[in-house]
Chains A and B, each alone.
Chain A
Amino acid sequence: MSEQPRWREHYDATHLRDVPFETMSGVPVDPVHGDEPLPGQYPFTRGLHAAGYRSRLWTMRMFAGFGTAEDTNARFKEILRNGGTGLSTAFDMPTLMGYDSDSPWALGEVGRAGVAVDTLRDMEDLYADIDLSSVSTSMTINGPAAAVLAMYIAVGEKSGVARADLAGTIQNDILKEYQAQKEYIYPPRPSMRIVTDMIHYTSAEMPKWHPVSISGYHIREAGSTAAQELAFTLANGFAYVEAALAGGQDVDQFGRRLSFFFNAHSDFFEEIGKYRAARRIWARWMKGRYGATDERAMMCRFHTQTAGVSLTAQQPENNIARVAIQALSAALGGTQSLHTDSFDEALALPTEKAARIALRTQQIVAHETGVTNVVDPLGGAPYVEWMTDEMERQAEVIFAHLDELGNGSILEGVYAGIDNGYFVGEIADSAYRFEREVNAGRRIIVGVNDFVEGNEDDQTNLLRIDSTTEELQRKRLETVKHERDSVAVEAALASLRRAAEDASVNLMPPLIDAVKTYATEEEISNAMRDVFGTYVEQAIV
């Protein structure tokens, strides 16, 4: 082993977990094997930290949200009791799209695919009796992310936690919405202004906050290949960097707060190569193209979620095996946090039992398999190194295309790719190619196009969202609207509108003022829709 002094120095300075670093048969193992650059060293192909999971396991962050804020609050507490170490909030569709529960658009959607949040009151109930100074929270929301972050700040304030002590992540990756997830509100350019305002605000005020989680997850779920997921995600990352630089921000400062979110799909080595390539590409570009000098600003930290799209409705218990293998790839790829999907999620939101099995799955990977003893245990394996190089090569081809589209600007290239249908077209082509291969039997999906015996016996117990949720949530909203000071609401919305009209004003302070008056998410979004307009996607097959 080519251990070198710089690595040793970092390793020795790291606080290690108090567990024996040996195999289950009692063989002691070295923390790192193979060649330089070692883990914790630029370009971080082999990991961000010298000691890897020896110092700290990944955060087991289970995504949850359904029904009313009280329903989800109870699930959060259950997750924390079961050893979950972070919270992750799923919002329902109306909330994600900037509509209230009483909007005609909300019909049939309230509390279905996540929790309904209309006003600050819902956020207060959502995090009630949870100590926000000790738990890190992730919130998966994009279009209305700024309003929801404002609500979280206000909840913290009310419970005596200063914004500087709030730790967590808000997804806020608007670019991939136009490419894959489709939960946008405003057109791309004003949306980017909101994102850069949030980066600016949190860099200055909230040192423990990650203002953007640049997400390939949804790009992959929508049908992309692994390399497209990698390339589109990092290109979006470059676009945020260019936008923040254009706003005069310091790359070494905001660069440290950017984080990523990848999909863990089923092709084991392709996924591991993807994670390793992501770290290397990000470090090289941040240093080489964007001039970062602080290594922390070159580090691609990422959350991973197992591939929802790989879950089958047929023989759903088989999904437990899929999730375990995908989770193992994320661990071997060096993820910072992980959500494991529940086996029943091809059918509905998970039951409590299914969600517990999913959490247990990652606990088994972490505590029983021994993979956490060694940093980047697959590093140096010829196939793994080749795959890492191949992922990088394919991604660089895509970066070159976007750079050309944008005349030397990735940001402009990404805008152009959104405008001309490049991203949605590429993703749809990949999705269709895959489906044809499955349909032709060239790819086997167990239980779907082969090994189908037993498909008729499925008796999976599903989580049902009570249809009274919608009515209940509308009543809650009505009560808040009745109790609040409507003059204060109107004044706050007017000042938000003025701030939106003036690109030199940061939107966060007026948003925080507005949510404190219990202005609804839709009222806030409408104030900004008035100024920014709304985005309508061209329907392309």
Chain B
Amino acid sequence: MSAEPVIRIVLAKLGLDGHDRGIKVVARILRDAGMEVIYLGLRQTTASIIAAAEEEDADAIGLSMHNAGHLALAPAMLAALDEADLDIPLIIGGIVPDQDVPILEAAGVAAILGPGAPAEEVVAAVRNAVSA
């Protein structure tokens, strides 16, 4: 079996939203799938997430959003990635209504995972985003 490089992903809650049940479950799912998970926790800023992603040499960033702030926060994160010249995929999990999915995808979000997404889908979404 060829040794695939281990995916390193930074997970965080951006902004004030404190719903962290989902992202903690996702952290364990990704860890169980063999990834290196760097969970930054609550109340992160775009700057703190960029800093962690650079320092940890992350392959992807995953943010969880449950407060309907995704249309403001996801573009802000993408702009910060651009500005830092950091070319790694951004994955959003949480509550994103169907009609907002194409908006976020067009803005450059690599994958969007809704509530109830099975573990295999979560893992596959990260793998695909990183290898794309």
Q: Is the CB of A435 within 8 A of B25?
A: yes
B72 surroundings in chain A (CB, below 8 A): 107-109
Q: Is the CB of A94 within 8 A of B16?
A: yes
List CB contacts (< 8 Å) of B51-96 with chain A: 67-73, 76, 95
Report if B118 contacts A (CB, 8 A).
Answer: yes
Q: How far is the CB of A21 from chain B (nearest CB, A)?
A: 43
- Supply 26 A–B pairs (Cβ within 8 Å), ascending by A: A93-B16, A93-B67, A93-B69, A107-B76, A108-B70, A108-B71, A108-B72, A108-B73, A109-B67, A109-B69, A112-B67, A112-B68, A113-B67, A183-B18, A222-B20, A223-B21, A313-B114, A347-B95, A349-B68, A431-B21, A432-B28, A435-B29, A458-B98, A462-B99, A541-B24, A541-B28
Q: Is the CB of A312 within 8 A of B116?
A: yes
Q: Is the CB of B21 within 8 A of A97?
A: no
Residue in A113, A314, A346 whose CB lies within 8 Å of B68 = A113
A349 surroundings in chain B (CB, below 8 A): 68
Q: With A and B bound together, what is the CA distance between A432 and B40 in angstroms?
A: 19
Where chain A touches its partner, the secondary structure class is: loop
Interface size on A, residues (CB 8 A): 44
Interface size on B, residues (CB 8 A): 35
Residue in B20, B31, B37 whose CB lies within 8 Å of A182 = B20
Across the interface, name the chain B residue whose C-beta is closest to A184: B18
Q: How far is the CB of A131 from chain B (nearest CB, A)?
A: 32
Report if B5 contacts A (CB, 8 A).
Answer: no
Across the interface, name the chain B residue whose C-beta is closest to A221: B21
Report if A428 contacts B (CB, 8 A).
Answer: yes
Instruction: Give me the interface of A with B, judged by CB distance under 8 Å.
Output: 93-94, 96-97, 99, 105-109, 112-113, 181-183, 221-223, 309, 312-314, 346-349, 428, 431-432, 435-436, 439, 445, 448-449, 458, 462, 465, 467, 536-539, 541
A536 surroundings in chain B (CB, below 8 A): 43
A97 surroundings in chain B (CB, below 8 A): 16
B97 surroundings in chain A (CB, below 8 A): 347-348, 462
Residue in B18, B39, B69 whose CB lies within 8 Å of A108 = B69
Q: How far is the CB of B74 from chain A (nearest CB, A)?
A: 9
Q: How far is the CB of B111 from chain A (nearest CB, A)?
A: 17
Across the interface, name the chain B residue whose C-beta is closest to A427: B21
Q: Is the CB of A112 within 8 A of B95?
A: no
Knowing A222-B21, A346-B115, A431-B21 touch, does A537 contact B16 (C-beta < 8 A)? Answer: no
Report if B126 contacts A (CB, 8 A).
Answer: no
5 smallest A-B Cβ distances: which pairs? A108-B72, A539-B41, A182-B18, A108-B69, A93-B16
Report if B42 contacts A (CB, 8 A).
Answer: yes
Q: With A and B bound together, what is the CA distance between A106 and B17 in angstroms?
A: 10
Knowing A537-B41, A538-B41, A539-B42 touch, does A107 contact B24 (C-beta < 8 A)? Answer: no
Q: With A and B bound together, what is the CA distance between A144 and B126 in angstroms?
A: 38
Report if B119 contacts A (CB, 8 A).
Answer: yes
Q: How far is the CB of B115 from chain A (nearest CB, A)?
A: 5
Report if B109 contacts A (CB, 8 A).
Answer: no
Q: With A and B bound together, what is the CA distance between A424 and B95 in angstroms?
A: 22
Q: With A and B bound together, what is the CA distance between A401 and B62 in angstroms?
A: 36
Q: How far is the CB of B107 from chain A (nearest CB, A)?
A: 14
A109 surroundings in chain B (CB, below 8 A): 15-17, 67, 69, 72
Interface centre among B27, B31, B41, B68 (most CB of A within 10 A): B68
A439 surroundings in chain B (CB, below 8 A): 118-119
Q: Is the CB of A107 within 8 A of B17?
A: no
Q: Is the CB of A181 within 8 A of B37?
A: no
Q: With A and B bound together, what is the CA distance between A538 and B40 in angstroms?
A: 9
Q: With A and B bound together, what is the CA distance between A541 and B115 in angstroms?
A: 19
Interface centre among B40, B67, B116 (most CB of A within 10 A): B116
Q: With A and B bound together, what is the CA distance between A120 and B97 in angstroms?
A: 34
Q: With A and B bound together, what is the CA distance between A445 and B118 in angstroms?
A: 12
Residue in B39, B40, B118 whose CB lies within 8 Å of A449 = B118
Q: With A and B bound together, what is the CA distance between A440 and B45 in angstroms?
A: 35
Q: How far is the CB of B70 from chain A (nearest CB, A)?
A: 8
Q: Is the CB of B17 within 8 A of A93?
A: yes
Q: With A and B bound together, what is the CA distance between A221 and B21 in angstroms?
A: 8
Q: Is the CB of B25 within 8 A of A431?
A: yes
